Amino acid sequence: MTDLIAAAWTFLAKEWAQSTDAAHDFGHIRRVCALAQTIAATEGPVDFEALDIACILHDLVNLPKAHPDRPRASTLSGAKARAWLMGQGWSADRAQIVDHAIAAHSFSAALPPQTAEARILQDADRIEAMGAIGLARMFAVSGALGRALFDDADPLAHHRPLDDKAFALDHLETKIYRLPKSLQTETGRQMARQRIGFMQDFVAQVMAELGETQNARG
């Protein structure tokens, strides 16, 4: 770990001093960093220090899901990270690598990644939304927002519109299952296939348990 990467962690800790977001915590940052390193090993050439710092600071401005400026959180984070890096002596051009990677990582921002660092960070953050940990994070966010686990009468929305603002499970169809098509790297796509498969198995298990409950009622 370089001195600047250690300083980035310290900077994040200061900025997040009041944060209570279970889905965007230091564990999330560490996992995104690890995923990015795995992807970067096959997606070079990459500025590894810039990528690490972009991963550490990608949620620097962490606004609540319901906040009106939430779609701008990644661009705000990128700009703040860029200013901090220039204060540490980085050139404007190199700081811009981090700024762009952070700004483009967000699904809501809808900014196309233009560099290897941006493509890798975007994939790593999206893969973190999939699989077992992705499910745990999804339900944590939904619980914090007061959303139900699922619609007990129609869990898979066969006879109603999908509504992930009311039901956590709907979020899989409205967003998560669509993420693999947006991934930028082959390594990311391979990871996504396994994780999405797990999520589909989880939903099948939910439906099996609901069937058992309905049979017991009958």
Give the residue, 2 or 56, on which the prediction is more confident.
Answer: 56
Give the pLDDT confidence score for residue 77 in this predicted structure. 96
Give the pLDDT confidence score for residue 19 in this predicted structure. 85
Expressed as residue numbers, the domain containing 28 is: 1-115
Asked if residue 190 and residue 138 are part of one domain, the reply reads: yes
For 31-49, b/e burial (b = at least 16 CB within 10 A) is bbbebbbbbbeebeebbbb
**Number of structural domains the chain divides into:** 2
What CATH number does the domain containing 177 carry? 1.10.3210.50
Is the full-model pTM beyond 0.85?
yes
Asked if residue 201 and residue 173 are part of one domain, the reply reads: yes
Asked if residue 107 and residue 31 are part of one domain, the reply reads: yes
Chain segment 143-202, per-residue pLDDT in tens: 999 999 999 999 999 999 999 999 999 999 999 999 999 999 999 999 999 999 999 999
What is the C-alpha separation between 52 and 55, in angstroms, rounded?
5
What is the C-alpha separation between 170 and 61, in angstroms, rounded?
27
Asked if residue 200 and residue 166 are part of one domain, the reply reads: yes
In a domain, 120, yes or no: no
| Mean pLDDT value of segment 89-97 | 96
Q: Which of 6, 105, 130 minimizes the C-alpha distance to 55?
A: 105
What is the C-alpha separation between 171 and 143, in angstroms, rounded?
13
Asked if residue 140 and residue 55 are part of one domain, the reply reads: no
Query: Which of 74, 89, 115 is a domain's end point?
Result: 115
| Mean pLDDT value of segment 109-135 | 95
Give the pLDDT confidence score for residue 191 in this predicted structure. 96
pLDDT-above-70 percentage for the chain: 96
Check whether 69 has a pLDDT greater than 80: no
In a domain, 123, yes or no: no
Residue type, 12: L
Asked if residue 95 and residue 9 are part of one domain, the reply reads: yes
